[in-house]
């Protein structure tokens, strides 16, 4: 049975985790940082919906007898890509197990892919400032009809990715193997909203008469990555999306209410599954 690219990347993440823990145990702080960097490169490719694009690139890389290193890598001095590549080449030479060697070759190809596609500066910035980013959405649609039309019309859409429909996050997925695709409502910012409101909304929250006024102000005062604003006396959670050059605005009270309802629904489902498992075990 052929291993999918998603399974390959999952195995690679487990390999990175094992290597990082081993480096931590030996006190190798620089190596720990480099494995963390490589892990973030994997995350960058995933959240930007480039898994299948990388799969196509990977085929050419793995078909070669020996892994190559992009000649463009030398153009990016001062970052972590070069020392990370050196670490991977060293690891490849020291690793006897064929399966683990394959994991290292995938990671070497990952760096080459990001370099060859001209994304290294963006990926480095993602690594350095990842905690200042809201969950990344790669596209915005005014309504479900627009999103549905895009989902059905693109021959091979980016996947898996988050998109915005209006102000709401949706998770979009596409499976190359059988050309299936779909999307569902996602809740990536709700935990941050819950945590921030628990501390109290700042009393000096800027106030506006209309949404248009709030959006105009946010363009010159971008949230980093979140901020509270008031519109006609109601509090909104502004989420900055640099890639889309926009902010989404989430009504605080109704968003938190819906979040609590979704959490309760998950808890109920979990309780039912637990009860079913217990009954099945007792039969």
Q: What is the pLDDT of residues 148-180, one digit of tens each?
A: 999 999 999 999 999 999 999 999 999 998 999
56 and 72, same structural domain? yes
In the predicted structure, residue 85 carries a pLDDT above the cut 80: yes
Mean pLDDT of the residues in the chain: 92
* Gap between the Cα atoms of 245 and 274, Å rounded: 45
Do 58 and 121 fall within a single domain?
A: yes
Asked if 50 and 73 sit in the same domain, the reply is yes
Are 139 and 247 members of one domain? no
**Boundary of a domain, candidates 170, 185, 200:** 185
Q: Are residues 181 and 225 in the same domain?
A: no
Is the pLDDT assigned to residue 221 strictly greater than 90?
yes
- Ramachandran class of 245: left when φ > 0, alpha when ψ lies in -120 to 50, beta otherwise: left
Q: What DSSP letter does each residue of the chain carry, written as one string?
A: -PPPHHHHHHHHHHHHHHHHHHHHHTT-HHHHHHHHHHHHHHHHHHHTTBHHHHHHHHHHHHHSSS----GGGGG-TTSSHHHHHHHHHHHHHH---HHHHHHHHHHHHHHHHHHHTT-HHHHHHHHHHGGGPPPPEEEEESSHHHHHHHHHH-SS--BSEEEEETTEEEEEEEETTTTEEEEEE--SSHHHHHHHHHH---TT--EESSHHHHHHHHHHS--SSEEEEEETTEEEEEEEEGGGTEEEEEEHHHHHHHHHHHHHHHHHHHHHHHHHHHHHHH-
Residues 6+ apart with CB under 8 A from 193: 226, 237, 250, 252, 255, 256, 259
The residues pairing with 229 across neighbouring beta strands, listed in sequence order, are: 236
What does pTM read for this prediction?
0.86
Query: How large is the average pLDDT for residues 25-36?
Result: 97
CA distance 77 to 82: 8
Confidence of residue 84 (pLDDT cuts 50, 70, 90): very high
Q: Measured between alpha carbons, how far is residue 182 from residues 24, 159, 265 in Å? A: 40, 10, 22
What's the gap between Cα 258 and its chain centre? 23
Structure tokens at 216: 């105009």
Residues 19 and 121 in one domain: yes
Is 153 found in the same domain as 65? no
**Same-domain status, 32 and 112:** yes
Q: How many residues does the chain have?
A: 283
Are 93 and 203 contained in the same domain?
no
Residues 6+ apart with CB under 8 A from 6: 51
Determine, yes or no, domain membership for 265: no
Q: Is 262 part of any domain?
A: no
Residue 103 maps to a domain: yes
**Structural domain range at position 72:** 5-130
Looking at the structure, tell me whether residues 158 and 225 fall in a common domain: no
Predicted confidence (pLDDT) per residue in 175-207, tens digit: 998 999 999 999 999 999 999 999 999 999 999
CB 148 within 8 A of CB 103: no
Is 150 found in the same domain as 117? no
Number of domains, the chain: 3
Residue 278 maps to a domain: no
- Is 54 part of a structural domain of the chain? yes
Using left for φ > 0, alpha for ψ between -120 and 50, and beta otherwise, residue 121 falls in: alpha
Same domain, 24 and 125: yes
Instruction: Tell me if 126 is assigned to some domain.
Output: yes
Taking the C-alpha atoms of residue 61 and residue 5, their distance in angstroms, rounded to an integer, is: 14
pLDDT per position as a tens digit, 242-279: 999 999 999 999 999 999 999 999 888 776 666 555 55
Q: Tell me if 196 is assigned to some domain.
A: yes
Tokens at 275, concatenated? 């009860």
């Amino acid at each position: 049975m052929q291993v999918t690219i998603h399974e390959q990347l999952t195995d690679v993440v487990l390999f990175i985790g094992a290597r990082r823990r081993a480096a931590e145990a030996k006190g190798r702080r620089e190596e720990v940082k480099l494995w963390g960097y490589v892990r973030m490169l994997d995350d960058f490719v995933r959240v930007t919906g480039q898994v299948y694009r990388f799969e196509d690139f990977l085929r050419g890389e793995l078909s070669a007898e020996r892994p190559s290193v992009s000649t463009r890598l030398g153009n990016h001095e001062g970052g972590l890509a070069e020392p990370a590549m050196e670490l991977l080449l060293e690891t490849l030479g020291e690793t006897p197990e064929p399966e683990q060697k394959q994991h290292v070759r995938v990671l070497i190809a990952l760096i080459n892919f990001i370099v060859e596609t001209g994304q290294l500066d963006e990926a480095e910035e993602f690594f350095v400032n990842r905690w200042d980013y809201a969950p990344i959405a790669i596209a915005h649609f005014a309504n479900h009809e627009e999103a549905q039309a895009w989902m059905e019309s693109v021959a091979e859409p980016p996947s898996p990715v988050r998109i915005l429909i209006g102000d709401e996050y949706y998770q979009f997925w596409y499976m190359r193997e059988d050309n299936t695709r779909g999307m569902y409502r996602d809740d990536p910012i709700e935990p941050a909203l819950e945590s921030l409101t628990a501390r109290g909304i700042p009393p000096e929250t800027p106030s506006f008469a209309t949404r248009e006024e709030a959006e105009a102000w946010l363009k010159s005062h971008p949230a980093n990555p979140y901020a509270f604003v008031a519109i006609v006396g109601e509090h909104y959670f502004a989420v900055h999306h640099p890639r889309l050059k926009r902010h989404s605005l989430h009504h605080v009270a109704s968003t938190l209410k819906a979040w609590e309802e979704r959490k309760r629904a998950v808890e109920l489902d979990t309780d039912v599954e637990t009860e079913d498992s217990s009954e099945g075990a007792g039969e």
